[in-house]
Amino acid sequence: MSFYIHLILFSFLWIKYLSCNYIFCTSECPRLTVSFHEPRRIPVRCSENANIYHPALICTINYRVDYDAENVYVDLKATNDTSRFHDYNQSEFLTQSIWLGFNRESGQPNITNRQYECRTRDDCARLYYLNTIERLIAEGKHIIKKIHTKLYRTRIPKSNLTRYRCKDSTKLGNRSTILCKHGLCYAQNINIKQSCTNDNTPTLFSDMTYYFPRAITEEREYIEYKCNKNLCNRNMTMELIKKYLRNYTDWYNMTSDDEIHIQTKSSSNHRTISYCFLIVSIILTHQIFFLN
């Protein structure tokens, strides 16, 4: 009898474990391509089909925002890999990479790529996308223009070519700036690198990582760029670009009314599985007592 009692307790504890740790995530949905004009319009096959949801520890989404093609490419998945979270209380993770090209010769399209992972609620990755995508598109266009204006001059008068100077981090004092006749100013914030580079492709690359609850020691804000304005690679300009990118990312301001709608849909599936385990446990208990 003791064995059967332990078996029953184990069954109920297992139900409790599933309810507390597993969430439902959109995962059986092919890669989506959505237009800037309707970025929140998810196809019916990925929004009204119960078969697309799977229980997992983590919901994840990868989406690339192409500001030139004006399309968003979305991949939704479920995973049990929790390696991204370094602390038990961390519930959300974002890594964001940005590539910007300031002229056609750079060959660099203007793109933002995001990977977001969460374990907060059912379908939290899709919720995050719906909560952020419209602002990301609108603010992205604005921020590209601001950064472009700050770092790159489309036309440089010939009379100014000999006055074009860059900050050089290897030099000190009055000699910390150098003439840059045939290249671009370069800046990188992690190792504080500033120089004149022979590379003539004006671009910006940024790679940022954030957690919630916030983990300052694990955050990453990497920025590097090449620009053609006088002293455009000095510290003050770098800090301004970082401010622009932080405002664009808007990591700590995510709210939306759409959460209730999706939460209800996926929670019904969640309850279905828990109830199935409960019914099995009840049947097992019934059989045990009546057979003994």
* Residue 150 confidence (pLDDT): 95
- 115's enclosing H/E stretch is strand 111-118
pLDDT at 278: 45
Which two tokens mark 81?
A: 């890999």
Global confidence as pTM:
0.79
Per-residue pLDDT of the chain (292 residues; tens, 9 = 90+): 555 555 555 555 455 444 457 899 998 888 999 999 999 998 877 877 777 888 999 999 999 999 999 999 999 999 998 888 887 788 999 999 999 999 988 889 999 999 999 999 999 999 999 999 999 999 999 999 999 999 998 876 655 555 689 999 998 877 789 999 888 999 999 999 999 999 889 999 999 999 998 888 889 999 999 999 999 999 999 999 999 999 999 987 643 334 434 433 344 444 444 444 444 454 445 444 444 5
In terms of DSSP bridges, do strands 203-212 and 177-179 run parallel, antiparallel, or are they unpaired?
unpaired
The number of CA neighbours under 13 Å toward the Cβ of 41 is 7
Q: Residue 99, SS3?
A: strand
pLDDT at 4: 53
Q: Give the model confidence (pLDDT) of 181-192 as tens digits.
A: 888 999 999 999
Mean pLDDT, the chain, integer: 81
Please check whether residue 258 is in contact with residue 127, taking contact to mean a CB–CB distance below 8 angstroms.
yes
Q: What is the pLDDT of residue 164?
A: 80
Nearest alpha-carbon partner for 75 in 139, 24, 29: 29
Alpha carbon distance 167, 252 (integer Å)? 33
Burial group, residue 162, by CB count within 10 angstroms (0-12, 13-18, 19+)? exposed
Beta bridge partners, 109, equal: none
Q: What confidence score (pLDDT) does residue 155 get?
A: 72
Residue 218's pLDDT is 86
Number of residues assigned to the chain: 292
